[in-house]
Amino acid sequence: MTATDHGSDDPYLWLEDVTGEEALDWVRARNKPTLAQFCGGRYEADFERMRAEALEVLDTDARIPYVRRRGDYLYNFWRDAANPRGLWRRTTLDSYRGDSPEWDVLIDVDELGCADDEKWVWAGATVIEPEFTRALVNLSPGGSDAVIVREFDMRTRQFIPDGFALPEAKSQIGWADPDTVLVGTDFGPDSLTESGYPRIVKRWHRGTPLSEAETIFSGTRTDVSAGANADRTPGFERSFAGRSIDFWNSELYEIRGSELIRIDVPTDASTSIHREWLLIELRSDWTLGAATYRAGSLLAAGYDEFLAGTADVQVVFEPDEHTCLHQTAWTRDRLLLVTLADVASRVEIVTPGTWRRETIAGIPPATNTVIAAADDTGDEFFLDSSGFDMPSRLLRGTGDGELEQIKSAPAFFDAENLDVQQYFVPSNDGTRIPYFVVRSRAIEGPGPTLLSGYGGFESSRTPGYSGVLGRLWLARGGTYVMANIRGGGEYGPRWHTQAMRENRHRVDEDFAAVADDLVNRGLTSVAQLGAQGGSNGGLLMGIMLTKYPEKFGALVCDVPLLDMKRYHLLLAGASWVAEYGDPDNPDDWEFISEYSPYQNISATRDYPQVLFTTSTRDDRVHPGHARKMVAALQAAGHRVWLYENIEGGHAGAADNEQAAFKSALSYSFLWRTLGGQP
């Protein structure tokens, strides 16, 4: 089945031709009036001020350079005005503690791009452990998910001419030993899943052609992907392979010679193996022997004992009505836990074996705190704490739980008079939905308000500092609202599973309930209420447009899914069938068709103004979604705006300059359409 043999009655199918000249001409013709309306003319000076302010936030050297330890060094990837594509660099802890660390630059992506005549975007590096001498560097042309891979010598700072290398593909590659990698990539016909990810994993030895690599694991075409990795921890050397059956179900095996040993946990559980321990995070209730463990629980067992069927399974964390597990990370001998209680974070350190939990002291109150990095070979970890009105602080800790503030970010806007409140509103079925409101105490009565939401894939939205949001919206008198709607993970997996597939309507009902509550509380009016969301959140915006247009004055719909009849045929769309349902199944299409924005456009309803943004290089969510929606809306007589960035991938921007431009465009649109003056 191909994308072209569906939707034959779709008059805009030709806009799915990503780089076709006819489609790109159509895009350019719609970019032009958008940029003229919100970036030029009498608004040009305001737009340029916002763009410059956003770029200053993104480029400033006063930002925290977040790091990850690899051996003796702390590694960082950094972009600024002088290095728009970025530097991969490293320093020592002693130097990092200072105000001006001495950075050893390993790769200058701008210089590399000039040498290769390619607009590379950094996509990460896999460093061999415990040697820390070589890396498999991923580079994306233009920001797409597909990357090339090159082997890099970290001692000579040179790419290895005859080293491991892969052409552009959505590859998965990792070290098995200094001369062997485990690789899943596009090996040719029938080597990819329907989602476009590797189906086959091979063991590839140095000095041999990829065509001679040995197949060690295979999934099926209907899987999302297959992959493998090796744990080279001394004394605990193991190799693993697995298949993602769908977005929420997977199987994991240990590879022992030619034998695959299944780690027999529920397929919807997440597992991690660290030294002698196995952790199991449950997404649904699990009965094991005489015990039943609740969804959202974190369990622990001895790894070897679990495989032998003799393990004593311990409960490390169990959720309640208000609290869920948010993050875990290992140091060598301790486990870090971050939990959320009504979307407020708490950090604990756990001793394996006894699984005794102790709250880490010294974390600033009323902040959102996350694990920024943890060294699973030593005792070091870094926490990042911030709030809507509080810039980030980077805290360094060790296995004893003691913290030191090692870095702090500057304030990019005056937050002294900001007020942050959390409210709850009942949705259609009575479920209480939390949301945060951030606004100046000087504001009296309704004003321009930006409501943001996501509501999918168990992704939690937590309070945090944004210099761009603060400068371009809050400091100019706007109100910001973050909705913690179902579909996310703010209350654990059940907050998500309540809103999957046929229950997807709850996401939209929750968001609409928050919108109504904002108006009912007198914080804004319909004409002054805007909303913004991207990707799955872009789908949410499309549903707000077509199902709840009377509730909003403007919408910003970023890199969205919109044609839910064909989403599973476009790029990575097939990997999300477990979340949304299968449009080719008549029973599933019955509920999908009720909300799919592209199929529910009305020529007779009044719609708020809407800005769609996407990227030609987005190879995760197809730009055809936004293109076709704009075309259909215009044909139905609606005023609609489009901006498509040629680069950027799913992030919508390939560097800080592009990100600043896109932010300024979105806020310019919101200020103009919601009646405010930036």
Q: What is the DSSP string of 586-606?
A: HHHHHHHTTT-GGGG--SSS-
Q: What does the radius of gyration of the chain's CA atoms come to, in whole angstroms?
A: 25
Question: Mind listing the pLDDT tens digit for each residue in 145-162?
Answer: 999 999 999 999 999 999
Residue 400 has a pLDDT of 78
**Mean pLDDT along residues 336-365:** 92
**Top-tier CATH class for 24-56+412-675:** alpha beta
Condensed to tens digits (0 to 9), the pLDDT of residues 254-277 reads: 999 889 999 999 999 999 999 999
The pLDDT value recorded for residue 427 is 98
pLDDT score of 365? 73
Q: What is the pLDDT of residue 678?
A: 53
CA angle 612, 618, 621 (to 5 degrees): 70
Q: Categorize the per-residue pLDDT at 675 as very low, low, confident or very high, splitting at 50, 70 and 90.
A: confident
Q: pTM here?
A: 0.92
Cα 304 from chain centre: 33
- Residue labelled with tokens 């310019």: 668
Q: Which residues are marked as active site?
A: 535, 650
Task: Express each pLDDT in 221-256 by its tens digit.
Answer: 999 999 999 999 999 999 999 999 999 999 999 999
Residue 646 has pLDDT above 60, yes or no: yes
Q: Is the peptide bond before 189 cis (omega within 30 degrees of 0)?
A: no
Q: How confident is the model at residue 7 (pLDDT cuts 50, 70, 90)?
A: low
401 sits in the region (left: phi over 0; alpha: psi -120 to 50; else beta) called left
In this prediction, residue 2 carries a pLDDT of 36
Q: Map residue 299 onto helix, strand or coil.
A: strand
pLDDT value at position 648? 66
| pLDDT given at position 655 | 86
Q: Which two tokens stand for residue 279?
A: 């952790």
Give percent of the chain above pLDDT 90: 93
The pLDDT confidence band at residue 164, using thresholds 50, 70 and 90, is very high
| pLDDT at 493 > cutoff 70 | yes
Higher pLDDT, 401 or 275: 275
Asked if pLDDT for residue 669 goes beyond 90, the answer is yes
Question: Chain-wide mean pLDDT for the chain?
Answer: 95
Confidence tier at 143 by pLDDT (50, 70, 90): confident
Distance between CA atoms of residues 194 and 245, nearest Å: 12
Cα 212-213-218 angle, rounded to 5 deg: 125
Find where tokens 């447009």 sit. 545
Written as six digits, the tokens of 449 are 């308000």
Distance CA 415, CA 419 (A): 9
